[in-house]
Amino acid sequence: MTECACAQRLLAQDVDLTQVDKVIAAHGSDSGALIPVLQKVQDALGWLPKAAMDRIAAGLRVPASNVYGVATFYAQFRLKPVGKYIIKVCHGTACHVAGATKITEAFERELSVKDGETTADRMFTLESVACLGCCSLAPVAMVQKEAHGRLTGDKVAKVLAEYRKADGGK
């Protein structure tokens, strides 16, 4: 078993399925509620572990393959745990021209992760996105719902320091 698979298995053991049960109870066994149920479960857990998707399948009385099919089809759903803070680096045209690649590389260096990965302490997840719609701030990254514009490598370190400080200096 790979290191990643082992980590996911351990994390999945910590899943509080009572939260999943509450979401299902609020929707009943209506199979048409699959997407809203997946969204609410992901909001509660931060991601969609296998155990939660299996419980959703049973609760909505749909095949597990349907649940997995929907969860893997839509980009909004996460099948791996994410950090407390999700960093989205814009790679749209304006940001690309203004140096988005260098900004992503600066985040990778500062966090010791690659694009698409989560830090070992599960504090940060780094993602490249097509466009954040903040072209006048290029290059821009969004942490949760806060935009950080006109970024440079030095500013990346400062942005991360803000969130680390807010989280108790981790």
Contact in structure between 95 and 138 (CB atoms under 8 Å): yes
- Do residue 45 and residue 113 come from a single domain? no
- Do residue 94 and residue 162 come from a single domain? yes
80 belongs to a structural domain: no
Cis peptide before 139 (omega within 30 of 0): yes
The reported pLDDT for the residue numbered 29 is 81
The reported pLDDT for the residue numbered 36 is 96
For the entire predicted model, the pTM comes to: 0.74
- Do residue 158 and residue 117 come from a single domain? yes
Three-state SS sequence of 119-165:
CCCCCEEEEEECCCCCHHHCCCEEECCEEECCCCHHHHHHHHHHHHH
The reported pLDDT for the residue numbered 1 is 41
Contact in structure between 104 and 71 (CB atoms under 8 Å): no
The reported pLDDT for the residue numbered 16 is 85
Show the domain range for 135. 85-166
- Do residue 89 and residue 58 come from a single domain? no
Total structural domains in the chain?
A: 2
List the chain residues with pLDDT less than 50. 1-12
The reported pLDDT for the residue numbered 8 is 45
Condensed to tens digits (0 to 9), the pLDDT of residues 34-76 reads 999 999 999 999 899 999 999 999 999 999 999 999 999 998 8
Q: Of 45, 40, 46, which Cα lies nearest the Cα of 27? A: 40
